[in-house]
Amino acid sequence: MNFNFTSNSTSSRKEIESLFHKIFSPIKKELDPNLVGQFCQKLNSDLDGAQLALDLLSPKIQSSQEWEAMIALYTLEACVKNCGERFHDAVARFRFLNEIIKLISPKYYGNRTSEKVKQRCIEILYSWYLYLNRPKIKEAYEMLKKQGIVTEDPMNVDKLDFKVPPRISNPIFEDGEKSKKLQQLLKSKNPQDLEEANRIIKNMVRQDEMKTEKISNRINELEHINNNIRLLNDMLLNYNSASVTESEKETIKYLYEELDKMRPKLVTMASETDDNDEAIGDIIKTNEQCEKIIGQYKLIFLKHINQASSDDKLVSLTSSVHKDEELFSSLETPKPSNYDPLKELEELFANPISNSTKNVPEKKFDDLLTSDTNLMYNNMQDLFTTMSLKQNAPASQTYVMPKNQIQNKIPAKTPQLKALDELNQLGKDLMEKSLINPSILLNAGLERKMGSNENDVFSLLNDLNFELEAIKPNVQIGPFELYNKNMIKIVLHFASNTPNEFISVCVLSVTSLNTENVVKNFNFQAAVPKSMKLKLQPASRSDLPIYNPILPPTAITQILLIANPSKEQIKLKYKLGYSIDETEFNEPDNVKILPDTNQNKQSLI
């Protein structure tokens, strides 16, 4: 019976690739020797690690960005020093040597490669020529000298001190009791014993893969938490309540909530890790940093919110006092001695009231002075104003009915009382209609805020929320491309219908053409200059499925509202992040100048 031992599990390969991408982080753009050391250790624990590393390093060595090529060459040297004979055999093949020679030779990339990278390549080849006993390396270096590409040997090349990598352990033979039992079963000629041995081996390999995957997930989660801690710490250090934007506030809140959610996970992670495991120190350190930054957030940000909340309450209270004073002032304003409220009703309803009704015995109407009466009086005031406007009457003809005169002048069960009932019902109907149709209220708000005053426009922006179906694309401007990398494309669609001329409406559309992997955890953050204000509505989703060319691509959509009172050209600063196949991609700050959207706008309402 044959037993197949897998040399490189999927989880091990993913962990190697994850470490590799961290080494070449586009955010740091600088060498991290610790990460390179971890990368070498991981290669030593995998039988196919050498070839996988060279496949990953080849395109990085030939990168047009000098910092990336130099980090790749440093990593290559570290692997040669620390990864033993298997790695030496892999680099000594013409398949890989040719990739380095292309950077030096003018027939290939020599003319466009920086002098710093070319010199480092020559130094590496010369050190291998001296200290690696490999005929193909010697042949390649001597050929470069014969062709005049290398004119003289580099000076002061460091001697290569090779470290013997640890023997690759196999979990199947680490357990003493199981190892003895396996040896006995494998020596047996009984088919049932061989079947039992096969079952034990498969079970132990599966357990090892689960353990490796668990470690890989732990490393990725700790890295994600530490990134959030660093970002939140930077934002809190630069926090200024006077200049902070809404987008920055949302980002700070999002990072705080993410870290707060991860605290129980860190505790669980620590409890599941052995005390003698080196990772326990990293977990405890991360947990302490997490607690510290959350404390800073509460001290700085929540304290500011509480102060702002108190100020708002004071302003609100003061405003309500002024409103009450105005209300009572209008009710208590003395009227001319010849003022007759019944005459006003006669004018408003165009229904002459006979003089005989004025002589009807007076009667109190306490049943009218209920909680509903207050609503009736308010409705009367609005109704009188509206009707006087419709009849083009001067504003001086509109009055407020004093309560004491209504009680004393209007008799019970008369046409005048019936008119008041109709008036009350009409007021209620108007209120119901306004509640049923929100656009009436919204239009009223827009009429009050249509000015170009900065505070008015910013205040209006806070109240606005739009559905995607209500937005019409601006065909004259067309889609504006923001990003196109890693088979992810992001475009902005501009709306032709907007709330008013000082607010631009855009729709962010994100699509993926990746036919192998799902795009996860997409996050878009944006900011505009201080003279403007931006509001990001929640995105439609955060993940994109694998692209199927037969079907229309799925898209993430997010609505952006930009208040621009001075109608300046909009400079959009944005950053975004997402993950593909457990690899995180974070794009640093980018600035795009958006097209002019002030022309051909229609009303969105």
Same domain membership, residue 528 and residue 571: yes
Same domain membership, residue 482 and residue 578: yes
Q: Under a CB-based contact definition with an 8 Å cutoff, are residues 39 and 23 in contact?
A: yes
Q: What is the DSSP letter of 327?
A: H
Q: Which of 29-43, 380-394, 588-602 has the lowest mean pLDDT?
A: 380-394
Q: pLDDT value at position 454?
A: 65
Q: Quote the tokens at residue 137.
A: 């390396």
172-228: per-residue pLDDT in tens? 455 566 677 777 888 888 888 888 888 888 887 777 777 777 777 788 788 889 888
Q: pLDDT value at position 199?
A: 83
Residue 153 three-state SS: coil
Last residue of a domain, one of 126, 152, 168: 168
pTM exceeding 0.75: no
Within a domain: 286? no
Compute the chain's Rg from CA coordinates: 38
For 352-385, give one letter per residue: b (16+ CB within 10 A) or e: ebeeeeeeeeeeeeeebeeeebeebbebbbebbe
In the predicted model, what is the mean pLDDT of residues 463-484?
Answer: 84
Average pLDDT, the chain: 73
Cα–Cα distance list, 329 to 10, 248, 326 (Å):
80, 45, 5
Same domain membership, residue 160 and residue 14: yes
Model confidence at 431: pLDDT above 70: no
Polymer length in residues for the chain: 605
Model confidence at 485: pLDDT above 60: yes
Tell me which of 116 and 133 has the higher pLDDT.
Answer: 116
Sole residue written with tokens 């005989």: 356
Is residue 143 within a helix (H) or strand (E), and if so which, with residue range? helix 135-146
CATH of the domain at 134: 1.25.40.90
Q: pLDDT value at position 280?
A: 82
Model confidence at 262: pLDDT above 80: yes
Same domain membership, residue 486 and residue 385: no
Residue 483 structural domain = 462-603
Model confidence at 581: pLDDT above 80: yes
In the predicted model, what is the mean pLDDT of residues 339-359?
Answer: 45
Q: Under a CB-based contact definition with an 8 Å cutoff, are residues 551 and 503 in contact?
A: no
Same domain membership, residue 483 and residue 417: no
Same domain membership, residue 135 and residue 56: yes
Same domain membership, residue 134 and residue 70: yes
End-to-end CA distance of the chain: 76
Within a domain: 559? yes
Segment of 273-287, 325-339, 442-456 carrying the highest mean pLDDT: 273-287
Model confidence at 312: pLDDT above 80: no
Same domain membership, residue 142 and residue 49: yes
pLDDT category at 48 given cuts 50, 70, 90 is confident
In the predicted model, what is the mean pLDDT of residues 267-278?
Answer: 75
Within a domain: 156? yes
| Amino acid at site 398 | T
Last residue of a domain, one of 122, 138, 168: 168
Same domain membership, residue 72 and residue 116: yes
CATH of the domain at 513: 2.60.40.1230
Segment of 6-15, 56-65, 474-483 carrying the highest mean pLDDT: 56-65
Same domain membership, residue 424 and residue 467: no
56-92: per-residue pLDDT in tens? 998 899 888 888 899 999 999 888 888 888 888 888 8
- Distance from chain centroid for Cα 575: 8
Within a domain: 501? yes
Within a domain: 216? no
CB count within 10 Å of CB 64 equals 10
User: For the chain, what is the domain count?
Assistant: 3
Q: pLDDT value at position 545?
A: 92
Segment of 30-39, 274-283, 333-342 carrying the highest mean pLDDT: 30-39
Same domain membership, residue 152 and residue 19: yes
Within a domain: 540? yes
Within a domain: 82? yes
Last residue of a domain, one of 436, 471, 494: 436
Same domain membership, residue 474 and residue 426: no
Tell me which of 555 and 337 has the higher pLDDT.
Answer: 555
In the predicted model, what is the mean pLDDT of residues 489-495?
Answer: 91
531-569: per-residue pLDDT in tens? 889 999 999 999 999 988 777 889 999 999 998 888 888
Q: pLDDT value at position 560?
A: 92
| Amino acid at site 404 | N
Within a domain: 204? no
Q: pLDDT value at position 577?
A: 92
Euclidean distance between CA atoms 173 and 3, whole angstroms? 14
Q: pLDDT value at position 429?
A: 56
**563: burial class by Cβ within 10 Å (0-12, 13-18, 19+)?**
buried
| Amino acid at site 506 | C
- Please list the residues that pair with 520 across neighbouring strands: 579
Give helix 84-91 / helix 66-82 axis angle, nearest 10°. 130
Q: Quote the tokens at residue 200.
A: 């034990």
